[in-house]
């Protein structure tokens, strides 16, 4: 698996090791998680905004067309599949299930 060496000053490495110990993970896992959290922050922000917009439009649509609110089975299946794919991406990025 490809890797990367990142140099730390002694005090920086001490702080990372202490934070990792407090979190109950290895320093390597702590660094990996922090890096991925930062790298994926924009994507996660976009997904949260999309879900928020979906919730808003769904509620607005329900007000206008209450008889058409029942989601179709295909939509629910697609939604479930998307949730599984996102969970798999998160698991592969962080090494843990969401």
Q: What percent of the chain has pLDDT over 70?
A: 89
**Residue 17 is assigned to a structural domain of this protein:** yes
Question: Is residue 49 a part of any domain in this protein?
Answer: no
Q: Alpha-carbon distance 35 to 48, whole Å?
A: 20
Q: Does residue 46 belong to any structural domain of this protein?
A: no
pLDDT of residue 98: 45
* 98 close to 91: Cβ distance less than 8 angstroms: yes
* Domains: count for the chain: 1
- Fill in the DSSP letter of residue 40: T
Query: Is residue 84 one of the residues assigned to a domain?
Result: no
* Structural domain harbouring 20: 9-39
- Write out pLDDT tens, residues 12-48: 999 999 999 999 999 999 999 999 999 999 988 998 8
**∠47-50-53 over CA atoms, to 5°?**
150
Does position 1 have pLDDT exceeding 80, yes or no?
A: no
Query: Which pair of structure tokens corresponds to residue 18?
Result: 């202490």
pLDDT value of residue 73 = 66
């Amino acid at each position: 698996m490809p890797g990367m060496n990142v140099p730390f000053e002694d005090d920086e490495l001490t702080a990372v090791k202490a934070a990792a110990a407090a979190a109950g993970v290895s320093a390597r896992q702590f660094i990996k998680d922090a890096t991925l959290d930062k790298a994926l922050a924009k994507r996660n922000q976009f997904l949260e905004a999309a879900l928020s917009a979906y919730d808003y439009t769904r509620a607005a649509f329900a007000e206008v067309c209450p008889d058409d609110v029942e989601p179709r089975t295909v939509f629910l299946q697609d939604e479930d599949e998307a949730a599984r794919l996102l969970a798999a991406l998160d698991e592969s990025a962080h090494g843990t299930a969401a």
